[in-house]
Amino acid sequence: MAKIVLFEVEDWEKRYIEGALTEYQPVLTAEKLEEATVSKYQDAEIISTFIYSTLTKEILDQLPNLKFIATRSMGFDHIDTAVCKERGIVVSNVPTYGAHTVAEHTFALMLVVSRKIIPSVERAKRGDFSSVGLTGFDLFGKTLGVIGTGHIGKNVCELGLAFGMPVLAYCHSQDQELIAKGIRYVSLEELLAGADIVTLHLPHSHDTEHVINSQNISQFKKGAILINTARGVLVETKAILEGLEKGILAGAGLDVLEEENALKEEREFLASEHIIKGDIQTELLDHILLTRDDVVITPHNAFNSIEALHQILETSLGNIRSFLSGTPVNMIG
């Protein structure tokens, strides 16, 4: 029987993993796979890690029997894939998760902003049941602008249609299924000018950093709402402030902030290894947007549903089982 070791296992993962791989009797440990621990696992044939185990050539060289790595993450830059390729070690990742989860949180933010949910709740808690000044607006009939139509963006487009919203989209590639459903792909400039609500669903890259910035914030339709549940660095913070103060934006719903730019995986927020550095925490706590009544901020929680977290585990464990059956899936490279 293959020796399987899963590293960086959180308490909430243990029961699920043990149930899914019972017959293989896997070793579960909270330890990272690193120089200080690798000697204990030199007979491992299959390993699974999160991103804090840096699988360098030096580490991999101490695992002579290793045949397969299942990283419980979308990213895989913590693994020396060149060495793996040279040695014939198969590597699989979690290519996508939480596509419905994040899309639903996106609409939660839209509704919280459009229906003034936060001030309504706060007023009711004070015993004040007046609705004066709490008039919101319908999403029905408003134009939704979706920047990025990958797995998450596609679901946002479809939810927009379900809400009765005309949908404009901007992406480097066009989804023919969305076009068939009535989604119209346009330039970024046309989307900003025409959308009542603009929502971002792009990965962070050199090309997407500050895709919304001080230069194009003035192109937004007056009174638009900005939603960002993707990556904070997609939007220049001062552009949001400028948009709000000049009345270009009527409000914003943000699950991410620009100061989070070092984040690689959403699940880092639930990992015991992840501790927000004091200076970053201070920046977030002192963030100027937190004090504004026209901005709703959630703590990078859009991904955090039972279903999305189970999907990460299901995919990772499925990768292991597929490899053991001789039909590996979700392979890198």
Give the active site residues. Answer: 231, 260
Query: What Cα–Cα distance (Å) separates residue 31 from each residue in 48, 53, 132, 310?
Result: 12, 9, 55, 21
Spatial separation of the C-alpha atoms in residues 69 and 93, rounded to whole Å: 9
Q: Work out the angle at residue 99's Cα, subtended by the Cα atoms of residues 181 and 75, and round it to the nearest 5 degrees.
A: 130
β-strand partners of 224: 249
Which residue spans within 166-205 are E strands per DSSP? 167-170, 184-185, 197-200
Q: d(Cα 266, Cα 191) in Å, to the nearest integer?
A: 28
Q: By three-state DSSP, how is residue 58 classified? A: helix
Kind plus residue range of the DSSP H or E element containing 310 = helix 306-324
What is the sign, positive or negative, of the torsion defined by CA atoms of 231, 234, 236, 239?
negative
Q: What is the DSSP letter of 290?
A: G
Residue 304's alpha-carbon distances to 112, 143, 159, in angstroms, are 18, 28, 19
The backbone torsions φ and ψ at residue 238, rounded to the nearest 5 degrees and listed phi first, read: -65, -25
Question: In whole angstroms, what is the distance from residue 112 CA to residue 114 CA?
Answer: 6
Cβ pair 206, 234 in contact under 8 A: no
Q: Is the dihedral of CA 176, 93, 30, 311 positive or negative?
A: positive
In a 3-state reduction of DSSP, which class is residue 16? helix
